[in-house]
Amino acid sequence: MPKKEKKGEKGGEKRQEPKSARAIRREARAQWRQNRRNEWIEKKKIRDHDKRLQTKATLKRMRAHRRKAERNNANQRDPFYVRWFK
């Protein structure tokens, strides 16, 4: 025998209660933590990729370029020995 439905009930559907402010804050905090962790993971991947590309020779070349750029920005000439033996 099928059960009779009471007035106001619909075929066994559960009524959705509105979420409390505390539950909403908890979900928002969990979402924020997840987003923050995902951003951190992405930054770490990028950093690791950059480090893998930077071999010893690459770092040396970068240092030399940085020094030359600083000299040019300070409006200084190359040292005399560099100019003499170009």
Write out the chain's pLDDT in tens, 86 residues: 566 656 655 666 778 888 899 999 999 999 999 999 999 999 999 999 988 998 999 999 999 999 999 988 898 888 899 889 98
Instruction: Say if residue 24 is in the same domain as residue 42.
Output: yes
Instruction: Say if residue 43 is in the same domain as residue 64.
Output: no
The structure tokens listed for 52 are 């893998």
Give residue 42's domain range.
20-53
Taking the model in full, what pTM does it have?
0.47
**Where does the chain have alpha helices with state H?**
21-53, 56-73, 80-84
| pLDDT for the residue numbered 22 | 95
Instruction: Say if residue 43 is in the same domain as residue 62.
Output: no
Q: Which amino acid is at 56?
A: K
Q: Give the alpha-carbon dihedral of 19, 21, 23, 29, to 10 degrees.
A: 130
Instruction: Say if residue 82 is in the same domain as residue 64.
Output: yes
The reply to whether 86 falls in a domain is yes
| pLDDT for the residue numbered 11 | 61
The reply to whether 41 falls in a domain is yes
| pLDDT for the residue numbered 7 | 62
The reply to whether 3 falls in a domain is no
Q: Which amino acid is at 62?
A: M
The reply to whether 8 falls in a domain is no
